[in-house]
Amino acid sequence: DRPIGGKRKKTSQPANPRPKQPPRPQEDLEDRVRRLEQLLTRSIATNEHPKHCLALLDKGHLDIEGMVPDPHPSSGLCFGKIHFAGHYVGDIRTYSGIPCFSHDGYEWVRSCTGESGTFEDVWSHKFPNHVPHLTPHPQNGYNSVTPDLPDRSLVEQYVRHFFSSYECLVFPVVDEVLFRDTVDVAYQPCQGPLPVGITSARACVLAFLAFIAELDPSPTLPYVDSAVYAAKAQNLLPYMLHDVSLPTLQNMVMQTMYRTFTGELQLANQFHSMACRVMFMLGGETKDNRPRDVTGPEDRVLRYQRMLRRMFWLCYGFDKELCFRSGQPPVIDDEHCDLSLPSNYTELQYPNRQHHVTLYEDMTIPIFPGDLRLTMLKSKTYRTLYSAKALHKSDAQLLQDIRELDDELEQWRMSVPPAHRPTLGSALEQQAAPVLPMQAIVIRLEYHYMMCTIHRASGRCQAWGNSQNGMMEGVNSSMLLAVEASRSSLHYLRSVIGSVRPEAFWMIIFYPMSAILTIFCSILMNPLDPCVEDDLNLLTVVPALIKDVKRRRTAENELAHMRMVTNFVTELTRLGHCAIDKARR
C-alpha cells in the first residue's frame, strides 16, 4: 500500500485484522484457472478465445488480422517493409500477400494525387473460416478421434498415379517403398486407444490424398475431396505432436504445401514451422555420407536417409518462398545446413526429352519448378537486404550489396541452359516447348521478381532526400531496373497465362501483385514520363490475368481474393490517373 519513495498510506483497517480463512485447495485452483483464462483472453485480444488447443486446431487460425478496422494497418504481423524512392510505402500482408500502405505511404500517395486512397475493403477482408469440424471434441482420450480412412484400394490407385507422373520428381513427398510401409501401419486394425505410430501413419495417408487430389487430379481416379481429407489429417495433429518420425514430417510438409496451393498462407506458415522443427530433430539438414549399398535390409535405411534429405529440400524451398510471400522471417538458417548440390544439378534441373526417369531415382533433391540455386540467392537477398539488421545499413553498403547480388543473379542466369534462360524485357522469348512447362514459366517469373526485389531495396537509401548526393545516379538506375523487371513480369505472364496449371493459381498470382505496386510507385514518382499511360494499361490487365488462370473450380477464398485484387488494382489505377492529371495541371 505504499507508493515507491513515499510514505505509507493511512488505512481504516484495524492494526491487527482478523486473518481470513485460507481458501480451500479446489477453490484456489479454480480461481487460478479462471484468472489464467482471463489473462489469455486479453492477450489474444479476440472475442472467440479457443478454450483449448483442439478448438484452435479445428478453427484453423486465430483471427488476429483485421480484428479492429484500421485504415493504416500496423506491421505487427508483417516483416517485409516496402520502400520506393526514399518513401516507406508499406508492408506485405501475411495472409493475402497483398501490400498495404503505411501512414507514410498514404501521405505520399495523397501528396502525389491529391486524393485519399480507399483500400479499407481490401485490408479489412478476412478469409472465411472453412475448416470443417469433422470429429467431435475428444473428451476421453483417443477413442473419439478415429477419422475414417478410405478404402485401401483408393489409396493404392493414388500411389500408383503419383509414381507414374513427373510430380514424384517435382514434389517427392513420399518414397515408394517406405510409404507402402506407412500405409500398412495406417490400415492396421486396432482396438482401444490408437498408438501414436498408427495415428501418425493415418495422418500421413490422409495428407497425401489431400495433396495429390489438389496438385494433380486425374479423371481416371476416384474423386477425393481434398479439403475434407486435409481437415481429417489436421484433426489428428494433437495426437501426434510427440511422434518425431518421418511420417509425421511428411504429414506436416504435405499440409504446408496443400495450404500454400489453396491460398491459406497463414496456416501454411504454421504447419511449415512445425515441419522444420521435426526435420531438424530428425537431422535432415545435414547430409548422410555413408557408403551406399542398395542390396539387402540396408535398402530401407538408405531410402530413409534419402527421403529425409528430400524433406529437407522441400522445407528449405518453401521456407524461402513463404518468407517472401508472407513478409515473415525464415525459419531455416542457411549457416546450419548442408546446401551442397549434385555436380550435375543443372542437367537434372533442366531435363530434355531424352532424359529417362531412372536418372532421378537416387536423387536427394526435388526438381522444383524453381531452381534451388536461385532459392539460395533468394535467401541471401532477404538476409542481406531485408533483415532487421540490413535496415540499418549505410547507402554505400546497401548499394554495394545490391551490386554484388545483381552480379550473382546474372551468374545464375548465364548458368541456365540457353533453351531455358530468362531475359529482361517485354519482348517475348521464342523457345522450344519444355518438358516441364510450369518450370519454364516459374523460372522466368522468379528471375523478374528477384531482379525487382534486389534493386527495389535502393528505395530506402538516404540519397533520395538529397538530389545533390553523388550516389543519386546509381540509386536511380537501380530503381529503374526494379520497375523494368516488374513490367517484364506482367508482359510475360500475359503471354503465358493460358498455360498456367489450375493448381498453380495461388503460386502464380503472387508475382503480379508484387509487380503492380512497383509500377504504381513509378507512376507516382514520374507522372509525366512517356511510359505512364502504357504502365496504367498494364495495371488494368492484372484482374483479367488472374481470372484467366484455368481452374477446375473456383473456391470461396479464390473468389474473395479475386475481388480483393480487382478492388486493389482498380483503386491503384484511379490514383495513377489522378497523379497524372495533377502533374499536368
| pLDDT digit string, tens, across residues 333-357 | 999 999 999 888 888 888 776 555 5
The single-letter code of the amino acid at 174 is V
Grid cell 508472407 is found at 326
Closest alpha carbon to 97 in 543, 522, 514, 554:
514
Give the mean model confidence (pLDDT) for residues 250-275. 92
CA distance from start to end of the chain: 68
Measured at the CA of 316, the angle between CA 417 and CA 549, to 5 degrees, comes to: 65
Q: Show the DSSP H helices in 427-548 as ranges.
A: 437-456, 472-496, 505-508, 510-525, 532-540, 542-548
Residue 13's Cβ-count burial label (10 Å; 0-12, 13-18, 19+) is exposed
Cβ atoms of residues 528 and 584 within 8 Å? yes
Grid cell 479499407 is found at 120
Grid cell 511510359 is found at 531
- How far apart are alpha carbons 73 and 125 in whole angstroms? 12
Q: Is the pLDDT of residue 322 over 50?
A: yes
pLDDT band at 198 (very low <50, low <70, confident <90, very high): very high
Q: Is the pLDDT of residue 14 over 70?
A: no
| pLDDT digit string, tens, across residues 432-454 | 455 557 788 889 999 999 999 99
Measured at the CA of 130, the angle between CA 124 and CA 133, to 5 degrees, comes to: 140
The pLDDT of residue 272: 96
The pLDDT of residue 22: 53
Give the mean model confidence (pLDDT) for residues 67-71. 41
| pLDDT digit string, tens, across residues 297-315 | 568 899 999 999 999 999 9
Q: Is the pLDDT of residue 247 over 90?
A: yes
Give the mean model confidence (pLDDT) for residues 281-304. 76
The pLDDT of residue 276: 97
Three-state secondary structure call for residue 242:
coil
Q: Which of 71-75, 287-291, 459-463 has the least mean pLDDT?
A: 71-75
DSSP string, 25-60: HHHHHHHHHHHHHHHHHHHHT-SS--SSHHHHHHH-
Integer angstrom CA distances of residue 364 from 33, 260, 265, 307, 318: 49, 23, 27, 7, 16
The single-letter code of the amino acid at 336 is H
φ, ψ of residue 157 to 5 degrees: the values are: -65, -40
DSSP string, 49-102: --SSHHHHHHH-S---TTSS--SS--STT---EEEETTEEEEEE-TTT--EEE-
Contacts of 319 (CB under 8 A, 6+ apart): 272, 276, 330, 331, 332
The pLDDT of residue 304: 94
| pLDDT digit string, tens, across residues 19-46 | 455 555 555 656 655 555 554 444 444 4
